[in-house]
Amino acid sequence: MNSPVSLREAVDRLDSLPAMPKVAQEILALPLNTDEGERELLALIGTDPQISARIIGLANAPLFGTSKRVTAIGDAAILLGLDRVKSLVMGIAVMSTLSRRPSGVFSAHELWLHSLTAALAMRTIARAMPADTRPQDDEIFFTGLLHDIGFMVLDQLAPELSDAFHKCVAAEPERPVAEIEAGMLEMSHSELGAALALHWNLPEHIVAALRFHHQPDDERAAVGQPLVAIAGIAERLLPAFGVNGQVVPEIEDEEWQALGINAGDAGEIVAEIQEHAIAVAASFG
């Protein structure tokens, strides 16, 4: 099927999409390792009722093990951790900005569930790595939240093609998403997500993680390592975009070892990731 809209031409006009949310731009610049930066982060969150509600809702989810009801942003930040809150706020702001077409086949909610689970999976994998080679926590979580943002870009740039694509994905659950993309789209969701990240001037290693998380062996992915490899493993351990059976789950021992992780510990890591996936579905599904 050919799109009446050329994706490559549309990507050249990415300025037709909303700019990166102001709150995300401001948070990117905050020095969270200072008291002033922490205060400014909490103040920024407090100015946006939607983001505040989402953060407090997450803090109260059984997933994060709270024993009492959290009602204030400050308490939520203590429970979740400031680095994770920073990433969550940026991810929520970005997804909310691009969620403008509620009547289509594409489900922003399903993408959010998958992305949150992927972010938690990436954090679990990274925590098993040696501390001196582990990416920063906020970068890990932010990359996980945005790794499949290209699906939203597709829905914004070519809504009819997006509908046809997601109908095909639903109708052929055993067929790899990459194969469907190759047959229907000029650009994959990974390429579209990376194009948006470049347009928004995100750091090059995050752009690379969005672009190559399904192709971690590509030589162009080197600038984004080890984020690319972490995202790639996390994605293959989870259902692809909420659809079972569309990503090959086998992870070779060498892939764990390349991250400095003992392959013998993989079973425990996978079990924890599966628990997170179940908890996210139970809390927010």
pLDDT in tens, 162-185: 999 999 998 988 888 889 999 999
pLDDT digits (tens, 9 = 90+) for 44-92: 888 888 888 888 888 888 777 666 788 888 898 888 888 888 888 888 8
Q: Is residue 242 pLDDT above 50, yes or no?
A: no
- Confidence check: pLDDT of 25 > 50: yes
Which 3 state secondary structure label does DSSP give 240? Answer: strand
pLDDT at 154: 92
Specify whether the CB–CB gap between 76 and 58 falls below 8 A.
Answer: yes
pLDDT at 274: 86
**Average pLDDT taken over every residue of the chain:** 85
**Separation of alpha carbons 105 and 160, rounded Å:** 9
Say if residues 74 and 42 touch (Cβ distance below 8 Å).
yes
d(CA 282, CA 270): 18
Between 221 and 249, residue with greater pLDDT: 221
User: What local confidence, expressed as pLDDT, does residue 176 receive?
Assistant: 84
pLDDT more than 90, % of the chain: 39
User: Which residues lie below 8 Å from residue 186, measured CB to CB, with a gap of 6+?
Assistant: 3, 6, 7, 8
Q: How many Cβ atoms from other residues are within 10 Å of residue 204's Cβ?
A: 12
Q: DSSP string of 69-107?
A: ---SHHHHHHHH-HHHHHHHHHHHHHHHHH---TTSS--
Q: Which pLDDT does position 243 carry in this prediction?
A: 36
| pLDDT of res. 196 | 92
pLDDT band at 216 (very low <50, low <70, confident <90, very high): very high
Average pLDDT over residues 34-42: 85
Contact 210, 149 (CB under 8 A): yes
Residues 92-108: pLDDT tens digits? 888 887 876 667 889 88
210 CB-side CA count, 13 A: 28
Question: Cβ neighbours of residue 133 under 8 Å, at least 6 residues apart?
Answer: 226, 259, 260
Largest CA distance in the chain: 54
Res. 245 pLDDT band, cuts 50 70 90:
very low
pLDDT at 171: 92
Neighbours of 248 (CB within 10 A): 9
Residues in the chain: 285
pLDDT of 248 above 80: no
Q: State whether residue 243 is helix, strand or coil.
A: strand
Buried b (16+ CB within 10 A) or exposed e, 155-184: bbbbbebbbbbbebbeeeeeebbbebbeee
Residues 225-250, mean pLDDT to the nearest whole number: 73
Higher pLDDT, residue 246 or 101:
101
The DSSP symbol for 62 reads G
Task: Name the strand (E) or helix (H) holding 183.
Answer: helix 177-184
Q: Is the pLDDT of residue 131 over 90?
A: yes
For the stretch 253-274, pLDDT in tens is: 999 999 999 999 999 998 888 8
What span, in angstroms and rounded, lies between the C-alpha atoms of 151 and 107? 10
